[in-house]
Amino acid sequence: MHDWFDHILYATRAQPEASAMLMEDRVITYGMLGDAIASCAERIAGLNLAPDALVAVCIENPIRHMAVSLALFRVGICAVSIEVSHRDTGLRYAAILGDNAARAVLGFGAVFIEVTEEWFALEATSTRHPLPAPFAGEARICRHSLTSGSTAAPKILDHSVGALGRSICSTVGFSNCGLVLCMPGLSSVFGFRIACGVLASRKTLCFASSPYQAIRMIELFGIDMLYAATEQLVALVRVARKTGAHLKSLRTTVVAGGIPTRALLEGAAVHLCKTIMCRYGTSELGVLAEAPASKVLDNPGLIGLVLPGFEMAAFGEDGHACAPGEMGIVKARVKPSPDRRDDLWTDHGDVGWVTAEGEVFVIGRTSDIKPADFASSATRAISPVYEIEHLVRLEWDAADAAALLVESATAPEIWIATVDCKDADAEALQHILRRRGIGGTVRLFPVAAIPRGAAGKIQRAQLQALMRASGT
């Protein structure tokens, strides 16, 4: 199940002159990547870490981050990618491999080891250390990831060799492209899976540090495939619209992580590319369902059709399995097979239903929807807060926005918090929302920042308290 890694190593030998990774104006060939993996692997072997050691990687440069992560897999050391903000993860590290920026924040104790330029030059390694055997055994834990997931509860996930291989296979699909831009960071398991899949497919993996740089790279280098989370796609559409960019090379955009709204998909089709694929998945299992944007737009609430190898179903609050088409909390698992044990159902924190044909519909997250709203199967309206938030960010160029539906004594109200949005007009926005079938009196609340969790999820209870305080 770790054939993906063997494919990467094969590519470093079979096509050493081909471009492996690209960022700004720096190109790393597959041959250079192979040398970097070998050099870093020898240095890691020289640390004499125990086989069950856990090593954290905190390197801002994604090219170097990727090389070190692959080297850790090569020597059979379990790894976790972290950012400088991840100081208190609850994990105990045998070593932290970081850059100079990470040293200023995480460089406490003897466990911090600075990864310098010399790590990536094979000939610079003065002492040769024998490399241990690479990971073997499907059940062995090879990687951890930090995530809050859809449930907004902080989690530490462990990934076995087999599970990581299966999730990478379910994530990738790069046969008809040459350059793939990966917007999700490598500290997310989603971004790491994409990066591994691109390299295993022997394509060129591209990184961008900002939406502006991403749009510029697509224009300059002719990138033909884009992977982005929902919030990142919103930012890219804003920049493309503002700059008037012509992204003629971009043929396919894949969006995942969040609920794709009509405002976002229509904006992406105009300013990025016509072909958009919506994907739905979890940190635990990878991509579970997918559907083209055209089908999503024709079927409000649809987020994809279940992929082969997985099962998805809705469950009631008491844990009973719902009938096809019945509203509940959406869960998923790997489809049982005779040669492996049944996996547990994973809770995504989303409310919706699954049809007998395998279509998955989501109306919102459990943290955003009142239990009474999804207890009745008659309530099938998608929560409009996501559409409102994307509309405000795209139509009025707000740096950030969040919405709440608030009951009042006279009529329902739509409270919208905006960040750096000087041109927003409540009356004009109310008119646009009514044309989209969203009723309610709009109230705008300028705020300094939207309260979000570690994974970017809006903290709506804190948001409501902030808006009430700013409105008094």
The answer to whether residues 33 and 125 belong to one domain is yes
358 CB neighbour count, 10 Å cutoff: 16
Give one word for 390, left, alpha or beta, with left for phi > 0 and alpha for psi -120 to 50.
alpha
Final residue before a domain boundary, out of 109, 144, 161: 161
With cut-offs at 50, 70 and 90, classify the pLDDT of residue 339.
Answer: low
In a shared domain, residues 113 and 42: yes
- At 11-26, the pLDDT tens digits run 999 999 999 999 988 9
Is residue 135 predicted with pLDDT exceeding 90? no
Query: What Cα–Cα distance (Å) separates residue 376 from each residue in 138, 161, 303, 326?
Result: 42, 41, 21, 9
- The DSSP bridge partners found for residue 328 are 352
Q: How many helices (H) and strands (E) does the chain have?
A: 14, 22
Same structural domain, 322 and 347: yes
pLDDT of the residue at 376: 44
Q: For residue 183, what are its two tokens?
A: 């917007």
- Asked if pLDDT for residue 3 goes beyond 90, the answer is no
Q: Do 399 and 375 share a domain, yes or no? A: no
- How many of the other CB atoms lie within 10 Å of CB of 237? 27
Taking 80 as the threshold, does the pLDDT of residue 122 lie above it? no
What are the tens digits of pLDDT across the range 203-234?
999 999 999 999 999 999 999 999 999 989 99
Mean pLDDT for 270-297 is: 91
Q: What is the CA radius of gyration of the chain?
A: 23
Nearest one of 111, 187, 105 to 144, comparing CA atoms? 187
- Per-residue DSSP letters for 274-315? S-EEEEEEETTTEEEEEEEHHHHHHSTTEEEEEPTTEEEEEE
Q: Is there a domain that residue 289 lies in?
A: no
Q: Name the amino acid, one letter, at 284.
A: E
Please check whether residues 338 and 466 belong to one and the same domain: no
Please check the confidence at residue 10 and state whether its pLDDT lies above 80. yes
The number of distinct structural domains making up the chain is 3
| Predicted pLDDT of residue 36 | 94
- Whether 246 maps to a domain, the answer reads no
Residue 258's pLDDT is: 82
Instruction: Provide mean pLDDT across the span 401-427.
Output: 85
pLDDT of residue 372: 45
Which of these, 376, 383, 379, lies nearest to 412 by C-alpha position? 383
pLDDT at 208: 96
282 or 243, which is more confident? 243
DSSP one-letter code for 452? B
Q: Do 443 and 312 lie in a common domain?
A: no
Tell me, yes or no, whether 4 and 137 share the same domain.
yes
* Predicted pLDDT at 148: 56
Domain that holds residue 354: 300-382
**Cβ distance 360 to 322 under 8 Å?**
no
pLDDT at 398: 86
DSSP 117: G
Residue after which a domain boundary falls, among 382, 402, 436: 382
The residue-averaged pLDDT of 119-138 equals 66
Can you tell me which residue has the tokens 């329902």? 412
| Domain contains 460 | yes
* Residue 245: predicted pLDDT: 92
- CA distances (Å), origin 270, targets 230, 232, 238, 241, 395: 16, 16, 11, 9, 13
Checking 141-144 for CB contacts under 8 A at 24+ apart, the result is 141/78, 142/2, 142/73, 142/76, 142/78, 142/79, 143/73, 143/78, 143/79, 143/80, 143/189, 143/192, 144/54, 144/78, 144/79, 144/80, 144/91
Residue 58 has, within 13 A of its CA and on its CB side, a CA count of: 27
Give domain status of residue 174, yes or no: no
Looking up residue 116, the CATH number of its domain turns out to be 3.40.50.12780
Confidence bin at 140 (pLDDT 50/70/90) = confident
